[in-house]
Structure 1
């Protein structure tokens, strides 16, 4: 759960709590498995070889699914950039997605055709990586593509390609800058590093350096850093060395070795004296930050610093949470983390001041708690809880072969940073062996040095050069495509249909339905109790009741206070969470299966026996109110609060989805309101339990029956009413004035008569070409042609009783009106004169069927699909048969479905941006424009 509040200090408060649900008291929490036993479950066996050109190749075999993760890591990042060329590594990452000499055009096109999933690229201080997970028969094509952009790229980089991706990167930068606290990282970097330090500039780079990048500059950057000897290729999944090596030799063997990057000298800087700065931003709460530069992965101190950060502010039961948030009620949120790079790290502590509290007092207490920790260090139990949580997270991560954090990443990172693919094991062994004495000594060594203290206060953000719109560069004629000499891309073999796990159903003694699937890839159990409630069940006059109720569940039961709950969860390596969609409210559990019994004990206690202590209710209300205030400073929060009433109509239960609720209503909520909501909605008659586990159904059912089988509801169940007529708004533009925004967030919504329980596969599939994928017309137009955005999309927002079509596009402020016009043009053309093409249809159907195995690689993927099928009243084997459904679709059927569903004239637009810049652009679009200040969105009127 996200809420972390006050520890109850006396039993008198518990006397006020009447169990809202009749159930037996949970048994005492059983002893968890030792962390050493969990560490033994973490293993990624691998083989490796090196080509004559220096390319290092690592292979891990995992046959659980017919997919292979391809991960290519280059030893180049922003720390290698010289003065005047900041942002080059990241810019080049973008350029490498725009086609190569033998695979011209956008790199996502052939990836989509082979059914790739988890495909992307990232750049950071120490490295650049590219990755995709592909069906096993598509491995050869993936290797062709990766080798082509490694060895045969320069002929495909034209001035036009450079100009487009430069604009995309600059809008990525604006998108980050446009968020609350969006300029903090720049301030930290400038304060802690000299300008010539390798880590002394941000990876995104400066607008001026990006503008100055010439075609020769970027080509020379490639020649200097992208040779075979500067790269590592990791293949993880349904592959072995015997299969992989001939393919690697075939496609990568002829690529020149190139230069090997020299690791720059990057000492850990120490400030000569404490540095104190204050900056203003359009934020809702004052944030107090403390930052030190510390050693990185190449130091034996890194793990101890990780532990220290978790104990201070990373655990749910952290020192800062317990003191500042739970007990003293001075802050609404605290964090601490140690961001570790290859050669150094950033140790950071922060506290968001509770409104009405003196920031100076919070800063004083923050410094006192840090000083006490430096002096006394952690307890053995705290160190053990950190280790258990980290190892449990690693076990969960092993289920993915690729993506941002799977097994390929672990092997590649170890090889690149530490010259050891198995370095993750050394890290876990070090973590398991950490002692309080060592953590104390390392913390004192590094955090006793002068600190950088930054305070961000609410106020007008100071003007800064980076916010200015760049000068328009004239369009240049596209150069003739360079014809490669490697021949056509290899064919893709036959890809088998999805083998979706068997779903079984059973019932607990009291009738709660259990929907179960077994997955044996990792020893993890994931469970969700899903209630027929959701945002639609929130009391109309008390919006925010559901969120406050859910937030209170782990803030104390009738036998445990919030600290005891957090500590018990951490000892088990378990995660307990809550959440809600428009239709469902859920409680979730993820735990190592070795700790299933005691984790279910805790889960049942939180679910069945919450105390709702009045003191806790009062303080959690303050936290929720602070969250609402933060939504009113955030572009996405503002748009999300404004749109529901416009698109669903004010009387619809779905119109209640206004962020964290109505601040006036939340401020007035009482304990009785929360108990009433729980009685009405969080009850066994409205519950279904979904489980994916390596443990057999009989064992899981018996364990759940023991904890939940006697559970009975109290009072009458709640009822949702969708019978009232609620008309959406007429087409218009609602402009929410957010001054000094370098970007505008555009949401365009088209209402319709769809219900989510209908078979929407044809129209959703048709939308893949319009707005549903990277290659969609909306994204390719606004991003890859006009470069006005970092990304734009359009999708159906599906719930049981509605499915409006919603377009989202954050665009540079000076192109707001033109962007809406462009979206309207794309949507109108698609639905009238320029419908789905044969190429788009083929790409979509082929891609959708081939990507299925990758889409359901993990137990979390399967668990989500099981809940979706149940919500939309589909059979449990829906995904086992979806391949045949896709293949039965026709181009004409998809075209007709889109035209019957989306009305281009019905769009309602919400724009969050600077009215003085944006309003003149909107007046020419032929729609009424209503301008409102951001503050007026508080009640989502």
Structure 2
């Protein structure tokens, strides 16, 4: 049965490839010339139906009949932002424990039952929510829902499975301690957000915080936040609205609601002055560089302009890449992104560069940040990046899983009901002047935070001469 479902998944991917090939077929391409912007277009978006159970569970339904499959996503609207102080990683561990045994099924039985009907279940957490996903053939929906609802509603949290998962996580975290790229990102977040903010922590936690977590913490997190009135059920696929509501009522209707006190998270403030933190790695052949500041939240109305700004600056064909890799040859790749979550996340530009060009690379990072703030993006360049963003939009609505992922954003970030239907028009209205305005609003070289993991003996004096900010030496945990 699993072979059947895997075949269906491959067909979905194959259809997407054919669509992409159809777009490019018979086009005369002069590869010596830079590609011109494509024609902007509109797209047909899925109709979203809504319902709500008496216990407060929100239901979003999209009929998608191309294949006889159904994708479900249960979204708990609390994630790692609910981790208690000193126990970062708890939300993630709680989600991982859901399918490790219920009151009537062991972890092995869950795996066997899913395998028998060719269904798949996954559980995870991010900063904004905790997620459970189910993909199944329509003909096995009832059996799959019996397993899925059992996982969500009746987890047993066996001590033996908790010990195993915790030890596996600690092993992974131990391996991360020697990776300069992970050290650089962790310290960047720590310094930018401050130790009290959840975004300062790794989603998986660290050795100390995970060691502090016990099985009772997992149970408390589950019973505190896993509640129908703090959740949404997203249903996409070969199913009608009435079928979806009946299914939700049957399997989640008896889930009892409770008072949920959501965690209070203060808006991050970032640094008050520019600072450069150096983490010493003896004889390191490379320096890992992180440059950035506090960015924006996901439901900000500037989201669309920021997306285009990010494409211009940080994409694989963006200015940082073209400068530091193509023009200068300092690195294999230089990128940037805005992490947009429930609260303002980081703007982060990053690269791993050769040690002897560490200071020169920082100069180029700052040059590109200032250039997009000071100058209008040339018309051809702007249209190329803007068109690239718009032309990618249909690809995130091709499969049930992709559609469910987009609906999850509506629920987690309280996006307006017409969000998707107005998406393309909002992108089309963005101008070059908007990009310069947005760059000045969200890129702040005057309070920039820079982290460099590398050989301080080879890079410290050169970095100090740049004059971009106070240089501070800290260890691999960020201690100054």
Do Structure 1 and Structure 2 share a fold, with TM-score over 0.5? yes
CA distance in 2, matches of 1:893, 1:802: 20
Query: Contact between 1:818 and 1:921, CA under 8 Å: does it hold in 2?
Result: no
Please, what TM-score do these two structures have when normalized by structure 1?
0.47
CA distance in 2, matches of 1:42, 1:868: 23
C-alpha distance in 1, partners of 2:377/2:197?
33
Query: Does residue 469 of structure 2 align to residue 925 of structure 1?
Result: no
**Where in structure 2 are there 5+ consecutive unaligned residues?**
none
1:238-277 matches, within 5 Å, as: none
Equivalent position of 1:854 in the other structure: 395
1:882 — aligned with what?
423
Q: Distance in 1 between matches of 2:211 and 2:10?
A: 50
1:508 aligns with 53
Query: Deviation of residue 740 (structure 1)?
Result: 4.9
Partner of 2:438: 897
Gaps of 5+ in 1: 1-33, 46-59, 71-133, 150-155, 157-480, 482-487
**Residue 346 (structure 2) pairs with residue 801 (structure 1):** no
CA distance in 2, matches of 1:639, 1:810: 10
What is the aligned counterpart of 2:286 among 722, 734, 743?
743
Counterpart pick for 2:453 among 912, 932, 935: 912
Where 2:465 maps in the other structure, the secondary structure is coil
Pair 1:520–1:538, CA change in 2 (3 A)? same
Of 187, 191, 205, 1:661 maps to 205
Aligned partners of 2:418, 2:246: CA distance in 1, in Å? 25
* 1:715-773 Cα shifts (integer Å, max 9, x gaps): x4232113477553642122233445443322111125x43322124531441454242
Mapped pair 1:497 → 2:42: yes
- Distance of aligned partners of 1:38 and 1:536 in 2 relative to their CA distance in 1, 3 Å threshold: closer
Indicate conservation of the 8 Å contact 2:86/2:209, yes or no: yes
Tell me, yes or no, if structure 1 residue 596 matches structure 2 residue 141.
yes
Distance in 1 between the 2:37 and 2:305 partners? 30
Give, in whole Å, the separation in 2 of the partners of 1:490 and 1:928: 43
Equivalent residue for 1:778? 320
Corresponding residue SS for 2:427? helix
Partner of 1:477: none
Displacement of 1:868: 1.7
- Give the aligned partner of residue 72 of structure 2: 527
| Paired residue secondary structure (2:466) | coil
- After TM superposition, the structure 1 = structure 2 runs for residues 13-92 of structure 1, keeping only pairs within 5 Å, are 34=1, 68-70=19-21
Query: What displacement does 1:66 show?
Result: 12
Q: CA deviation at 1:495?
A: 5.7
Match of 2:232 in 1: 688
Contact 1:639 1:912 in 2 (8 A): yes
Match of 2:274 in 1: 731
Once the two structures are TM-superposed, the CA of residue 831 in structure 1 deviates from its matched residue by: 0.9
> Are the aligned partners of 1:793 and 1:808 in contact in 2 as well (CA < 8 Å)?
yes
Find the aligned partners of 2:185 and 2:62 in 1 and give their Cα distance.
35
Q: Which segment is superposed worse, 909-918 or 546-555?
A: 909-918
Query: Alpha-carbon deviation of 1:780?
Result: 0.8
Equivalent position of 1:639 in the other structure: 184
**Structure with higher RCO (Cα < 8 A, 6+ apart):** 2
Residue in 1 aligned with 2:173? Answer: 628
Higher helix share: 2
Change over 3 Å in CA distance of 1:600–1:916 after alignment to 2: farther
Alignment CA distance shift 1:679-1:823 (3 Å): same
Deviation of 1:604 (Å): 1.2
CA distance in 2, matches of 1:914, 1:522: 55
Distance, in Å, in 2 between the alignment partners of 1:501 and 1:766 is 24
The answer as to whether partners of 1:684 and 1:713 remain within 8 angstroms in 2 is yes
Residues 556 and 828 of structure 1: is their aligned pair in 2 closer, same or farther, counting only changes over 3 Å? Answer: same
Structure 1 counterpart of 2:196, from 645, 651, 668 = 651
Checking the alignment, whether the CA contact within 8 Å between 2:92 and 2:126 is kept in structure 1 is no
Pairing of 1:429-448 with structure 2 (within 5 A): none
Whether the aligned pair in 2 keeps the contact of 1:765 and 1:844 (CA below 8 Å) is no
Say whether the 8 Å CA contact 2:268–2:294 is kept in structure 1: no
Q: How does 1:608-623 map onto structure 2 within 5 Å?
A: 608-623=153-168
TM-score, with length taken from structure 2: 0.89
Distance 1:921 1:696, change over 3 A: farther
Alpha-carbon distance, 1:580 to partner: 2.1
- How do 1:320-339 residues align onto structure 2 when only pairs under 5 Å count? none
1:791-842 CA distance string (max 9 Å, x none): 222221111221432112222333222111111011112212x332222222
* CA apart distance, 1:915: 3.5
Q: How much has 1:491 moved relative to structure 2?
A: 10
